Structure 1
């Protein structure tokens, strides 16, 4: 098995088949099915539950918007309390990935390494018309591609993938 390329493809397939509405048993079945019954636990703690394994595997091998959003929500957004979070909100001609409202309104747009900045200028224009603060969330590898498309007033969260 060519692990790196195969793992990317496995993760892409898992991502396409995954839904938060799946039961733990259904997630386990999908994971086992993708890996022909052999989950590659060599990379992760063998005590992980199927959903935890799936999230860790996706984040490491296919860091798409869903896995980045999940990590951001758990590690950053939920560190504060007394706010309302809204996901996938239509704003003008754009769809905002995430926002929080708690006396101030804050918008978060996620651009992963799998994204291009093609729509970013229009998204920023839409978001700044509605929200007091706007942040871009992107990887340290992709920030140079995104910077020309965001205004100076835009905040930036960067991330990188760790083992």
Structure 2
């Protein structure tokens, strides 16, 4: 038995502990989702002893989401690109312009932005002209980098971005231009 909790790396004597047998799969799944490499340690174990509060925090969905967000922030990714949604397969859903930013692919949720501190909020705009698509495609074709290719793949086959109620973050618009 280990003398420290693998989650917080503090001695097990500090607070209430639990021996996890049946919940090993949940811990492994949480580790895989967090991408923190603890699953390599856990996969060979029959059981582990951890702090009760650490286990609750480690497997809580909201904590996992926060850990992922923190990892992205720590990696310094200022512009992450989700893979472009193409229409090559009928079974694959189309890109949802109402919900996601057409430039970065992140969810464009005004309510979520309002909950953030004012200095980190991103302004969300709706596409309002038919010429918008043509001007973005023109810039994207001349740039032809990964960002531009992702944008092209998203908007190339959408005839009317205004009718699709396409949204975008203003800061990514300026990054592309």
Which has the larger strand fraction? Answer: 1
**Structure 1 length as normaliser, TM-score?**
0.31
**Structure 2 length as normaliser, TM-score?**
0.30
Higher relative contact order (CA 8 A, sep 6+): 2
Larger Rg: 2
